[in-house]
Amino acid sequence: MPIWNKKYETMPRTELESLQVERLRDLVTYAAGHNQFYHDKMEGAGVTAADIHDLDDLAKLPFTTKQDLRDHYPFDMFCVPLNDVCRVHASSGTTGKPTVGGYTKPDLELWSEVMARTLSSCEVVPEDVVHNSYGYGLFTGGLGFHMGAEQIGCTVIPVSGGLTKRQIMLMEDFGATVLTCTPSYSLVLAEQAAEMGVDLRGQLNLRVGVFGAEPWSESMRKEIERYLGLEAYDIYGLTEIIGPGVSVECSEHDGLHIFEDHFLAEIIDPETGERLDYGQEGELVITTLTKEAMPVIRYRTRDRTILHHEPCACGRTMVRMEKVFGRTDDMLIVRGVNVFPSQIESVLLAVEEVEPHYQLVLDRARHDLDSLEIWVEASEKLFQPVDTRRLDELQAYISNEMQQALGISTDIRLMGPKSITRSQGKAKRVIDKREL
């Protein structure tokens, strides 16, 4: 299996950790000397580079949060003058000001490098034709994948999102072998292909799919692979860190390798901030060791996962993170019970007679009691004609499964085909009417 940069991706752990400590010291000096926010943070914590002796000393450094980035919007987190920044990306900003990411020329070279590593981990080679359906523009996905594929030497089709019928035609005509997009959009493509009479498994050359930008379960992986006839790989990234390119699965599918020579990862207790050992679930915190325009120190991602440091069978020695279980800020509290959308998805996709399209609708009825209604599309065959008896049985079965998995009662609403709005990018899974 290809490894893009064996020097770093297979580096012995002791050497890697020495490199991380060296780069961490340089980062503390650089950030405090070039950015007022970090100067004040380090001064307040009473920490300098001289206090960093090993990785345990990470705990001496202050956290950075998304609110910090919003408070210093748009460019006050930069460590270089704006005329040294050659590109700016930003998150969607659906819950406030967008999160901005700035890149110098060396930062873009770094991004291309980690994206080449990412795609190589997914068995992508120079002969591949990469159909890139991630959105271009301020969103980091499209251009991130584009740069990495070009770095490898692939032929890149920069389709972006939308115009789904046209995408099916282009994948067939241009001979796409690799598909990159959100997992939910891959299912939209599969659905559209079926309507057009195109057999994605038989008529197309797709063999690899690289999916990210939204949480997705192992059950959804099986659905995607079944519909598209490819091997599905999970990736992880954030605008605040670099975009896609932070971590990726290899062909072992045993966690996502984090490129630790650039991104130093740790797990903390989300309530106390205390650092946790390998193998313990908590919140992922990342420090960018080599970014120039906008480094971040101990950035709280709000993503819940587990880190493992044992070497992988693929030969890479870098720490692996498990699939993100959910976000601490995406966790739903329903009648005092913590519920993650990923739990619900796993239950739904284990049921053969429903489709992988669903939404969660929360509301607050009389007496301030929360309700959770789960909308999910049932198989088309149950509506041609409508099989009322089977729909009732299926609804009761799913309700019972949800009760067992979540510990609370839910209302299951089985929908007809295409009742739930499709997305060209990230799927909108949760509608919280309690906030209206």
Q: What is the pLDDT of residue 336?
A: 65
Contacts 24+ apart (CB under 8 A), 66-74: 66/99, 66/240, 66/300, 66/302, 68/37, 69/99, 69/100, 69/240, 70/96, 70/97, 70/99, 72/37, 73/97, 73/98, 73/100, 74/100
pLDDT in tens, 335-357: 667 787 878 888 898 898 888 88
Q: Where is the domain boundary, 297, 327, 357?
A: 327
CATH of residue 94's domain is 3.40.50.12780
Do 249 and 124 fall within a single domain? yes
Average pLDDT, the chain: 92
Do 289 and 341 fall within a single domain? no
Do 141 and 230 fall within a single domain? yes
> Which residue segment(s) compose the domain that 356 sits in?
332-435
Q: What is the pLDDT of residue 264?
A: 98
Q: Where is the domain boundary, 312, 327, 342?
A: 327
Do 107 and 220 fall within a single domain? yes
Do 228 and 360 fall within a single domain? no
Do 322 and 359 fall within a single domain? no
Do 355 and 296 fall within a single domain? no
Pair 354, 333: CB distance under 8 Å: no
The number of folded domains in the chain is: 2
Do 172 and 234 fall within a single domain? yes
Tokens of 77: 């987190």
Instruction: Give the Cα separation of 383 and 399 in Å (integer).
Output: 20
pLDDT in tens, 351-382: 988 888 889 988 876 545 678 899 999 988 88
Do 131 and 258 fall within a single domain? yes
Do 292 and 418 fall within a single domain? no
Q: What is the pLDDT of residue 328?
A: 66
Q: Where is the domain boundary, 270, 298, 327?
A: 327
Do 306 and 387 fall within a single domain? no
Tokens of 420: 């739930």
Q: What DSSP character marks residue 54?
A: S
Q: What is the pLDDT of residue 94?
A: 47
Do 222 and 361 fall within a single domain? no
Those residues of the chain that have pLDDT short of 50 are 94-95, 367
Q: What is the pLDDT of residue 285?
A: 98
CATH of residue 393's domain is 3.30.300.30
Q: Is 176 exposed, middle or buried (0-12, 13-18, 19+ CB in 10 A)?
A: buried
